[in-house]
Amino acid sequence: MTKKMHITITVNGKEEEFLAEPRELLIYTLRERLNITGPHIGCDTSHCGACTVTLNGKSVKSCTMFVAQADGAEVETIEGIGGPDALHPLQVAFKEHHGLQCGFCTPGMITRATKLLEEIPNPTEEEIRFGMAGNICRCTGYQNIVKSIQAAAAEMSAAKEAAE
Amino acid sequence: MKDEVDTREDRVANLKGMGCSRKRVEDARFTQGKGNYVDDIKLDGMLFGDFVRSPYAHARITSIDIEEALKVPGVLAVLTAADLEPLGLHWMPTLAGDKQMVLADGKVLFQGQEVAFVVAEDRYAAADGIEAVVVEYEELPVIVDPFESLKSDVVLREDTVGEDSAPIDGAHGPRKHHNHIFTWEAGDKAPTEEVIANAEVVAEETMYYHRTHPCPLETCGCVASMDKVNGKLTLWGTFQAPHAIRTVVSLISGIEEHNIRVISPDIGGGFGNKVGAYPGYVCSVVASIVTGKPVKWIEDRMDNLMTTAFARDYWMSGKISATPEGKITALRCQVTADHGGFDACADPTKFPAGFMNICTGSYDIPTAYLEVDGVYTNKAPGGVSYRCSFRVTEAVYFIERMIEVLAIELGMDAAELRRINFIKKEQFPYKAALGWEYDSGDYHTAWDKALKAVDYDALRAEQVQRVEDFKAGKTRKLMGIGLSFFTEIVGAGPVKNCDILGLGMFDSCEIRIHPTGSAIARLGTISQGQGHATTFAQILASEIGLPADSITVEEGDTDTAPYGLGTYGSRSTPVAGAATAMAGRKIRAKAQMIAAYLLEVHDDDVEFDVDRFVVKGAPEKFKTMKEIAFAAYNQAIPGIEPGLEAVSYYDPPNMTYPFGAYVCVMDIDVDTGVPDIRRFYALDDCGTRINPMIIEGQVHGGLTEALAVALGQEIAYDNMGNVKTGTLMDFFLPTAWEVPNYETDFTVTPSPHHPIGAKGVGESPHVGGVPCFSNAVQDAFRAFGLRHTNMPHDHWRIWKTANELGLHG
Ligand code: FES
Ligand code: FES
């Protein structure tokens, strides 16, 4: 058996330390080792985005990364984005604008969208469609996902303006 | 009391009942990553099972050596057919009356077939174990073409021939050849042929509706847990029909049904993929019994695309006859259906070709005949209804292409040809030539509304101009106008003719009202994204006068939910929705007696009004449903049992027939083959509308799956039987970038036989969308002589069409 590696990662603000085989994929670390089941698995080829997390500030498909490559990194998943006491505007907007159906793509979608809105705070429809093209949804046809992201962007800009 | 000052509108709004765009109650958990899908389930000591799969499409297995695999750290067991045989579980029945190998019994019939099941402590150990299993194969001739299969000496399935090597009867009658599964006919052959032979105008076409796959974002999987102490088996899984799965598991395992609990947790999309029973389920159950531990099996995407539940794969030949004015006189359809290695179609048992006999479409066609031949090949089994009622997508594609071809033959406008042949409003209920009785429709109104909305005449004028510009070298883009008008047949179905493995296709709802005026309703269906917890509560709110927000809807646990046949074929609203309304009406009937008692009047002197019973003629005297609920639990009312509960099992008298009119406008770059969807207008009539927001969402989703199928998505094989599209690299799933915005619209023609007039909508946009996208592509080339070309219209095939028509100079 291969030698295990010593890994330290911070997930949703909590530091985790463990020994893992070098072949362990980040998605399995999250889902099976740490019981963080928000990110999902929809493919084996890095196409669907269901497994999207934020790693050191960038959107990453956690199915295509070994946890060994994430050693020392800061990871954020849907669970860290918002919860019952403080929902993220995207979480509110997805419900308000029917941006989900089966919900399987949703954690990845919202996680990706948080980064998109950091990259481009007021994206055009085209920028949203392009920026979200790494996340597949089989249910919604995307129209309401685009709407949800637009609504959240407006909400966040308004809140930012009010704060300034 | 607040109630007394509220206006009637306030009270109606407060219920959030039928017709309102209530936000979904499911969304809180999904948006916060707290859904509970099968792969999220984790049990103490849970093991992980996975398959050794065949690399060959047709081969004899000469040996399986598991010894090395058992030495792999973490591997606990390896099951093969030899282990399952003593239990009688090496084969299992399919929903189509055939049987299927659970693990390869001496040979394999398709690439990816399950050969052995490795059970290990985790996924990685299972993968290591799979690597270490040594299987020796002896290759056999591979047949991937159904026409060749029907001529071949190669016997694919040894159980199809008798001792004299002559074919023996199959589940649906005599076989024409050893690789032939069934022939299914509808309508009148001789009269149809006669009308066509003597007709002034006949259009003929052969089309291939390619093989594809529902590919929900979550693959199939299960967790089986045999509790040996209590003798109870619990099975969690991605089941679109949990109750039917329980019965099937009981029948094949011999475990009594009360000792089996099947639970469908949250399901990440189904689209037909999760109706059938798969070898993974059986192997997980056996492995849990053998090891005494819970066993999880989850497909990866490649397993999913290669082995569970393909859709379509229909070769359809049609003849349609008409008068010179365009009145259709007869239709003939001959189908050769490729079912792969096992007939595992998920159709009602008496319908081996599903409801393909809806192929006369929305048109008043006096005479018709349909013949379907099912054939075995070395491809994966399935034949599921991918976002459609049983084979309805094929039927609608067929007729909507035949109409276009006939329009070309007649030199007529295809919109006008449809209009003059529609079944007229006053003809409903309409008995179609192939047997169905359409419940209601108003096709002309819908069609006129659609054509007006898109300004059809202006579009055609623009198209004419575009062709001129193209010929004059001013543009390299052609314009296509895709039309489709579809009639769906959903809501299977009446028990008298619809069953699956002998289980009648009714559905059910059980309601308990709590003393303080809230409620729980349990149904025999299961949501996979349709939002049942939201919409069924709305139906109930309107029926029983308690706010939807006070009603919990629960599905998917066979220990608590009443028996039902599940969710597929747009049957939840037509069947379970009806059961919900009927159960609600039972509650209301009892509430009426309680109200009358409380108000000290006769039962007939009170009437229901939104959320209360009022004394007729004296609206100030009333009891709200909340008050009545409390009284049901705290007052001794003479002649009335305490409590407020009801259950309804609903056997629909007929199917429902949603319909719609779609128009797609597309620009096609002749040099790259890239289509640009400029506009898509979708008018749906699904009868009474329960939640417009959810309907619209279903339409967007169904259209996007239609776009995928029409413009590129396919399961393709090479002639060795290798799957060429086994990953998302080659299997087309549209992203936000490829998908347009859709315009949705509606008319409302309620179903006359459904308690609330609803017809179902989830699948209409897929059924109507596929021919609409395809017709748009083909219409772009009509001016250059194209009659028909097969889907999927990916860029390469569109380019090729342009090339073959000489458009590249
Ligand atoms: S599971 Fe990671 S991209 Fe599909
Ligand atoms: S909501 Fe089902 S995959 Fe997006």
User: Is residue B586 within a helix (H) or strand (E), and if so which, with residue range?
Assistant: helix B578-599
**Average pLDDT of the residues of chain A:** 97
Report the distance separating Cα B716 and Cα B730, nearest Å: 10
Q: How many CA atoms, within 13 angstroms, populate the side-chain half-sphere of residue A14?
A: 8
CATH of residue A151's domain is 1.10.150.120
Pairing of strands B99-101, B91-93: antiparallel
Query: Would you say residue B5 has pLDDT above 70?
Result: no
Site of tokens 């073409």? B145
Q: What is the CATH code of the structural domain delimited by B310-492+655-804?
A: 3.30.365.10
Report the distance separating Cα B437 and Cα B657, nearest Å: 9
pLDDT mean over B335-340: 98
Establish whether residue B736 lines the binding site of ligand 2, counting it when its CB lies within 6 angstroms of any ligand atom. no
Phi, psi of B643 (to 5 degrees): 90, 165
Single out the residue in A65, A81, A97 at which a domain terminates: A81
Query: Would you say residue B2 has pLDDT above 50?
Result: no
How many structural domains comprise chain A? 2
Report the distance separating Cα B221 and Cα B300, nearest Å: 9
Residue of A41, A106, A143 to mutate, ligand 2, most atoms within 8 A of C-beta: A106
Query: Would you say residue B4 has pLDDT above 80?
Result: no
B656: closest CA among B774, B786, B538, B569? B569
Selected from 3.30.365.10, 3.50.50.60, 3.40.50.300, 3.30.460.20, the CATH number assigned to the domain covering B2-34+507-650 reads: 3.30.365.10
In a domain, A26, yes or no: yes
pLDDT value of residue B505: 83
> What order do you get walking across the sheet with B675-685 strand by strand?
B477-487, B659-669, B675-685, B743-746
Do the chains contact at A42 and B218, CB–CB below 8 Å?
A: yes
B490 touches B348 (CB < 8 A): no
Longest CA–CA separation in chain B, Å = 90
Provide the token pair at B441.
């429709």
A55 touches A71 (CB < 8 A): no
In a domain, A164, yes or no: no
Report the distance separating Cα B36 and Cα B42, nearest Å: 11
Query: Would you say residue B128 has pLDDT above 50?
Result: yes
CATH of residue A19's domain is 3.10.20.30
Q: Please give the number of the atom of ligand 1 that sits closest to the Cα of A40.
A: 1
Single out the residue in A22, A46, A81 at which a domain terminates: A81
Same domain? A77 vs A93: no
Beta strands in B58-174 (DSSP E): 59-65, 75-79, 91-93, 99-101, 107-108, 114-120, 134-139
- Owning domain of residue A36: 5-81
Longest CA–CA separation in chain A, Å = 58
DSSP bridge pairs for A6: A19
DSSP state of A69: G
> B166 CB contacts (<8 Å, ≥6 apart)?
none
Nearest residue in chain B measured CA to CA from A38: B33
pLDDT mean over B602-626: 96
pLDDT value of residue B1: 43
Distances B70 to A21, A24, B132, B439 between C-alpha atoms, Å: 21, 22, 8, 60
B62 touches B138 (CB < 8 A): yes
B580 touches B610 (CB < 8 A): no
pLDDT band of residue B570 (cuts 50, 70, 90) is: low
Pairing of strands B310-322, B201-212: antiparallel
Same domain? A67 vs A95: no
Model ipTM over 0.90:
yes
Q: Do domains B2-34+507-650 and B310-492+655-804 have the same CATH topology?
A: yes
Establish whether residue A103 lines the binding site of ligand 2, counting it when its CB lies within 6 angstroms of any ligand atom. yes
Beta strands in B558-674 (DSSP E): 606-609, 612-615, 618-624, 645-650, 659-669
Ligand at shortest distance from the CA of A47: 1
The alpha-carbon radius of gyration of chain A (Å, integer) is: 16
Same domain? A12 vs A58: yes
Please pick, among B175, B312, B387, B418, the residue that the annotation labels catalytic.
B387
**pLDDT tens sequence across A62-85:** 999 999 999 999 999 999 999 999
Query: Would you say residue B217 has pLDDT above 80?
Result: yes
pLDDT value of residue B528: 80
B377 touches B336 (CB < 8 A): no
- Report the percent of chain A where pLDDT is more than 70: 99
Nearest CA to ligand 1 atom 1: A41
Same domain? A52 vs A107: no
B227 touches B234 (CB < 8 A): yes
CA A84 to chain centre: 18
A139 touches A102 (CB < 8 A): yes
Q: Which amino acid is at A158?
A: A
pLDDT value of residue B548: 97
Phi, psi of A47 (to 5 degrees): -100, -30
Same domain? A22 vs A43: yes
Provide the token pair at B718.
């090479």
Q: Which amino acid is at B491?
A: G
- Which residues of chain A make contact with B735, given a CB cutoff of 8 A? 132-136, 142
B489 touches B392 (CB < 8 A): yes
Please pick, among B211, B528, B763, B782, the residue that the annotation labels catalytic.
B763
Of chain A, the end-to-end C-alpha distance in Å amounts to: 57
Report the distance separating Cα B494 and Cα B488, nearest Å: 16
CA B548 to chain centre: 27
Provide the token pair at B220.
């199939």
Same domain? A96 vs A152: yes
Same domain? A101 vs A75: no
Q: Domain-by-domain residue ranges, chain B?
A: 2-34+507-650, 38-142+219-267+275-307, 310-492+655-804
pLDDT mean over B165-174: 93
Distances B222 to B93, B643, B753 between C-alpha atoms, Å: 19, 38, 38
pLDDT band of residue B573 (cuts 50, 70, 90) is: confident
- Which residues of chain A make contact with B736, given a CB cutoff of 8 A? 128-130, 132-133, 135, 137, 142, 145-146
Provide the token pair at B14.
């407060």
Single out the residue in A60, A81, A102 at which a domain terminates: A81
Do the chains contact at B31 and A136, CB–CB below 8 Å?
A: no
- Which residues of chain B make contact with A23, given a CB cutoff of 8 A? 124
Same domain? A77 vs A16: yes
**pLDDT tens sequence across B86-124:** 999 999 988 888 999 999 999 999 999 999 999 999 999
Cis peptide before B214 (omega within 30 of 0): no
A47 touches A61 (CB < 8 A): no
Q: Is B388 a catalytic residue?
A: yes
> B532 CB contacts (<8 Å, ≥6 apart)?
B523, B525, B526, B553, B555, B567, B572
Same domain? A35 vs A68: yes
A96 touches A148 (CB < 8 A): yes
Query: Would you say residue B745 has pLDDT above 80?
Result: yes
Same domain? A63 vs A93: no
Say which residue, B212 or B277, is predicted with more confidence: B212
For an interface test with A, the pick among B213, B217, B555, B693 (most A C-beta atoms closer than 10 Å) comes out as B217
Same domain? A18 vs A50: yes
Report the distance separating Cα B374 and Cα B376, nearest Å: 7
Query: Would you say residue B192 has pLDDT above 90?
Result: yes
pLDDT value of residue B370: 98
Q: Which segments of B386-526 does DSSP mark as H helices, in order?
A: 392-410, 414-421, 443-454, 456-471
Pairing of strands B430-431, B437-438: antiparallel
**pLDDT tens sequence across B749-803:** 999 999 999 998 889 999 999 999 999 999 999 999 999 999 999 999 999 999 9
Q: What is the CATH code of the structural domain delimited by B38-142+219-267+275-307?
A: 3.90.1170.50
Same domain? A120 vs A62: no
Establish whether residue A98 lines the binding site of ligand 2, counting it when its CB lies within 6 angstroms of any ligand atom. no
